[in-house]
Amino acid sequence: MDVVSPELNSLLPDEIMDTEAIAMEEELPVEHLAAPPQSEPEPPQVPMETEVPEIVSLCPATTSMQMSSASTDAQCSTSSGTQLLLAPSGLITSTTMTTTTSAKTTGPAVTQNLPKISRVTVPANHQLIINKVASAPAADGKSPGTAVLKPEGQKLLVAGLSKTGQPIMLALPHTWNKPATTQGTGDAKAQPTQIKMLTTVGKPVIAVSSASQLMGGSSTLQAQQLKTLQITKKPTVSTAGPMITKLIITKALNNKGLSSPASVAPVVTGRVVTQSTPVTPPRTITIGETSTVPQNTSGNSKVAISPLKSPSKLTVVSVASQSPNSPQKSVTLPLNVALGQQILTVQQSAATSPAKAGTSQPNTQTVKPVQTVGGVGTSQFKTIIPLGTPPNVQQIQVPGSRFHYVRLVTATTGSTTAQSGGSTNTNPSIQQAKPVMMNAAVRMSVPIVPAQSIKQVVPKPFTSAAQVVTTSQTPQRLIMPATHLPQIQPNLTSLPPGTVLAPAHGSGNMGYAVLPAPYVTQIPQPAFVTLTSSSTFSTATPIQTQARLSLNGLSTSEATSRPRKPCNCTRSQCLKLYCDCFANGEFCNNCNCVNCFNNLDHESERLKAIKACLDRNPVAFKPKIGKGKQGESDRRHSKGCNCKKSGCLKNYCECYEAKIMCSSICKCMGCKNFEESPERKTLMHLADAAEVRVQQQTAAKTKLSSQISDLLTRTTPAVTSGGGKLPYTFVTKEVAEATCDCLLEQAEQAELTTQPQAVAERLILEEFGRCLRRIISFAGKAKTDCPINC
DNA sequence: GAGTTTGAAACT
DNA sequence: CAGTTTCAAACTC
């Protein structure tokens, strides 16, 4: 495993990961916009339910001109929604762009320098409402290097001040306070809602646009909100010419539906820590520094995201190569923003003013490490990906949560097709940037994304080795091109825990298959995982049963330490929730099931089954036992049990099985699983007694074993080491047999006298102690009698 | 290990 | 949403 170099490490802001304290358990409102209200009284009790697919779109802009005029050719087209933000006059060096599934919605960006705002109101809620804009030049959106400001009515959220004191604002769309309106053609109904974070720092602008609808498809994206924005840049100079590294992070809260690939980013590198919407509990997204864009003309792009503890935290580091001729733009921008509870931190690499085109600085560095920091407050998740390494890997991992994606991406080739919307991209730099942008697509739609996004990416065949950088502390999950399954659009928020996108078996490079995290977890996790081919990956990897991920209130560590019971399904093909493996988002392995389809060989069927389950119950794969804020005592079944005959005191009862008491949600009859229930107390007492007995037995065995082991280890070396130890190998076979005989005799006596097991064990141990004393005594005597090792 | 019981999941 | 069926785990012998 590579170690992050001190140089890179020093670039990582410590505070970036300091987001542990941020509450993340809110139920993002958008999640249910398109779905009926949850009937569960306390959804937050189920940790996993709080997760919402996080869509992070990294949309680099090579230049302002390129981006703003990308209505026809840009991967990241501007949407009709709110576009850019504000920045000090002349400070904005680039425009932001919003990726949408419907490229048709591309609209001109209105540019406006901040100083031109004639009036700004500052409500108590920290909203700045720009009531008037002096002018809106460059209505066509082709004014590069100009700050874009929404016309009158534009709302800005004062995010806070950066370290340098510059205000950071979030630009809200006009429609911020109202639901997204239907827009677009076809199925793409969602209107992108954008929030932009700006900094008035006299440095290259950082713009954050909300995730627009990343996926078209049949799904309706009703509400999408931009989370936070962040930009980092690291001046990189290519011999061929300047390159622009621009990062746009978008997040769509709506997890439903997506089909079209939407976003593309030429070069993206950054760190995304968390995200949050202005209207929801705080989240922070931090973008790390970008790394040098490789000169590799192959267009390798890599995205590495390391896992984080919190589901709401996300670390993303991506790097994409650009064409040698693409202009490079470096932005160094120290930024530390506190937005309410939200923390936005951006760490800069060596400060560099916006890159200058035509920089002649030769960059012979073919491989530049990409640093990914995912851990909270620590660098444990740092990952380095050598960009120079051939196959590209994009890795997206949402900690704690169920989605960990890694996608192998290769440089685009001349055959790169136009992006969604039918637009044709002739801009080389943009084309190459496409591969990088699959984050949003991937996260939004598991199976679907691939199709279109693949076109953009042009993944390298799996025949070439791919490298995935993983950290030693946390397993990495892989997402790889898989079979195109456009018909399946599972709701990612409800996918089984740890679900991972994996390549379809025997399929082409497109599409994704859903893998349970445990499956991927067990893939050998060396510093680099080389994938030789998709088929190899699909079939060769041994599937080892993995523990459940944070199921039923159990921590991951608890779960991992407990082997899962093999299922015995015979009729469900392990593709229904009857199967515990399937229900837990795991592949069957070492099970006794018959005609099992819960494996990689039947990923398409599995995906369909998952979708079917989600159709029936959107939270089918979420833990049934929510963990209360105050600990285990607050754990309860999310739906409650329906027991009728078991009195809820047998494992038939899910509450009892989870070792929790029934609650008011339960519909059980004759329930005895409540606090004051004498039956329950009796059972608990018996269970405790049994457990104690087992522990005692275990301890006795351990002790005995330890003593024997210790005895052997002490005596054997004594033969050669001499010193104060016994000189002889006195524990001979005969001695051992005699000792065993003594112990057996003691056991028999205890049995004959009907002694309790605990007493019997004690007697045996005492006998063993006597044996040891005799042995030692004899050995010591032997030593005295024969000082010389004889 | 076979058969029964049980309740969640699936189906109607 | 309620009733029924299916299913696999839990349980009993």
How much is the pLDDT for A261?
A: 37
Domains in chain A: how many in total? 1
Strand B positions within 7 A of protein Cβ atoms: 5-11
Residues of A from 633 to 672 whose C-beta is within 7 A of strand B: which are they? 639, 641-648, 650, 652-654, 668
Q: Is the CB of A583 under 7 A from strand B?
A: yes
Q: Is the CB of A296 under 7 A from strand B?
A: no
How much is the pLDDT for A709?
A: 77
Domain membership of residue A69 (yes or no) is no
Q: Is the CB of A579 under 7 A from strand B?
A: no
CA A616 to C1' B12, in angstroms, rounded, equals 14
Q: Is the CB of A565 under 7 A from strand C?
A: yes
How much is the pLDDT for A755?
A: 85
Given a contact cutoff of 8 angstroms between Cβ atoms, the answer to whether A84 and A61 are in contact is no
Return mean pLDDT, chain A: 50
Domain membership of residue A344 (yes or no) is no
How much is the pLDDT for A785?
A: 61
Q: Is the CB of A27 under 7 A from strand C?
A: no
Question: Which nucleotide shows the minimum CA-to-C1' distance to residue A572?
Answer: C7
Name the percent of chain A in helix, strand, coil, to the closest 5. Answer: 25, 15, 60
CA A563 to C1' B8, in angstroms, rounded, equals 23
State the number of CA atoms in the 13 A half-sphere of A513 facing the CB: 29
Task: Kindly report, residue by residue over A625-652, the tens digit of the pLDDT.
Answer: 876 545 445 777 888 899 999 999 999 9
Return the H-helix or E-strand segment holding A500. Answer: strand A500-502
Question: What b/e sequence results for A632-669 when a residue is b if at least 16 CB atoms lie within 10 Å of its CB, and e otherwise?
Answer: eeebbbbebbebeebbbbeeebbbbbbebbbbebbebe
Mean pLDDT of A104-113: 38
Comparison of pLDDT for A775 and A123, the residue scoring more: A775
State the number of CA atoms in the 13 A half-sphere of A303 facing the CB: 42
Mean pLDDT of A48-61: 37
Enclosing domain of residue A709:
698-785
Distance, in Å, from the CA atom of A497 to the CA atom of A189, rounded to the nearest integer, reads 29
- The region of weakest confidence among A299-313, A571-585, A605-619, A627-641 is A299-313
Question: Which nucleotide shows the minimum CA-to-C1' distance to residue A645?
Answer: B6
The single-letter DSSP state of residue A527 is: S
Task: Kindly report, residue by residue over A195-226, the tens digit of the pLDDT.
Answer: 334 333 333 333 333 333 333 333 333 333 33
Residues of A from 657 to 676 whose C-beta is within 7 A of strand C: which are they? 657
Given a contact cutoff of 8 angstroms between Cβ atoms, the answer to whether A213 and A444 are in contact is no
For residue A70, pLDDT over 90 is answered with no
- Phi-psi domain of A254 (left: phi exceeds 0; alpha: psi -120 through 50; beta: other): beta
Q: Is the CB of A639 under 7 A from strand C?
A: no
State the number of CA atoms in the 13 A half-sphere of A680 facing the CB: 21
CA A608 to C1' B12, in angstroms, rounded, equals 21
Residues of A from 572 to 611 whose C-beta is within 7 A of strand C: which are they? 572, 574, 576, 578-580
Domain membership of residue A230 (yes or no) is no
Task: Kindly report, residue by residue over A551-570, the tens digit of the pLDDT.
Answer: 334 444 444 444 678 899 99
Strand C positions within 7 A of protein Cβ atoms: 6-11
Q: Is the CB of A693 under 7 A from strand C?
A: no
Domain membership of residue A119 (yes or no) is no
CA A607 to C1' C10, in angstroms, rounded, equals 29
Q: Is the CB of A697 under 7 A from strand C?
A: no
**Closest residue to C9 by CA to C1' distance?**
A652
CA A54 to C1' C10, in angstroms, rounded, equals 39
Domain membership of residue A773 (yes or no) is yes
Domain membership of residue A108 (yes or no) is no
A10: CB partners within 8 A, 6+ apart: none
Determine the Cα angle at A27 with ends A519 and A32, to 5°. Answer: 90
Highest mean pLDDT among A239-253, A422-436, A440-454, A681-695: A681-695
Q: Is the CB of A654 under 7 A from strand C?
A: no
Domain membership of residue A381 (yes or no) is no
Question: Which nucleotide shows the minimum CA-to-C1' distance to residue A612?
Answer: B10
Domain membership of residue A724 (yes or no) is yes
How much is the pLDDT for A67?
A: 39
Task: Kindly report, residue by residue over A419-430, the tens digit of the pLDDT.
Answer: 433 333 434 343
**Closest residue to B11 by CA to C1' distance?**
A616
For residue A772, pLDDT over 60 is answered with yes
**Is the Cα dihedral A86, A258, A586, A468 positive or negative?**
negative
Task: Kindly report, residue by residue over A297-317, the tens digit of the pLDDT.
Answer: 333 333 333 333 333 333 333
CA A575 to C1' C12, in angstroms, rounded, equals 29
